[in-house]
Structure 1
Amino acid sequence: MKKILAATAMTMFFAAGAMAQTNANNTRTELDAFANGDTAVWDMMMDENGMDRDDADFQARWDGATPEQQAALKDACTAAQEAQAKFSDMVASRCKTATGN
């Protein structure tokens, strides 16, 4: 019985890790679609693996972005919000902050 429980726990552990990466990849793909393929827009929020950037990295990238890139991020966030896209809480929060919604 202990072997079955241990095997079940290990399976759930690996499945959760795979699910988290799948969700990150899906988030990146979905967000890129709202940015019309402009990866520079979402590179402000997410790394190449679809993981959320930490606050300091995001702020540095936002501050270094051109006004056009900032506007593109706001437009993509607005479109994603209108479509009720599902993405991480951090990206959702940053979109709300960027758009004022």
Structure 2
Amino acid sequence: MKKLIAATALTAIFATGAFAEGVQQYNRSAMETMAGGDTAVVDIMMDAEGNDREDADFQARWDGATPEQQAALKDTCARGIEEKVEFSEVGAARCKIVTTN
């Protein structure tokens, strides 16, 4: 019985991890669609797997982005917020910041 409980717990842990990865990739895909396929805009916020960038990396990419890319990210975030994309806490905070500045 203990082995069954342990196996069930491990399965739940792995399923949760796979679910989280699926959500991240979905968010990446959704953001790319909202950005008109411009992956460079989405790259400012997240890596290819949909993981949030570290703060310093995000800031450097934002600072290095063209005004057009910054405007596109603002529009993309605004649309994501409007369409209730389930951003990570970090992603939601960053979208809120870029859309209000």
TM-score by length of 1: 0.93
Q: Which residue of 1 aligns with 2:14?
A: 14
What is the Cα deviation at residue 29 of structure 1? 0.9
Partner of 1:89: 89
The alignment covers a number of residue pairs equal to 101
After superposition, the C-alpha distances for 1:11-62 in whole angstroms (9 at most, x for unaligned) are 1111111111111111111111111111111100000111110101000000
Percent of residue pairs identical: 57
> C-alpha distance in 2, partners of 1:13/1:78?
33
Partner in structure 2 of residue 46 of structure 1: 46
8 A contact 1:27–1:88 mirrored in 2 = no
SS at the partner of 1:36? coil
Which segments of 5 or more consecutive residues in structure 1 lack a partner in the other structure?
none
Q: Which amino acid aligns with 1:64?
A: G
- Confirm whether residue 64 of structure 1 aligns to residue 64 of structure 2: yes
CA RMSD in angstroms, aligned pairs only: 1.2
Equivalent position SS for 1:17: helix
TM-score (norm 2): 0.93
CA distance in 1 between partners of 2:68 and 2:75 (Å): 10
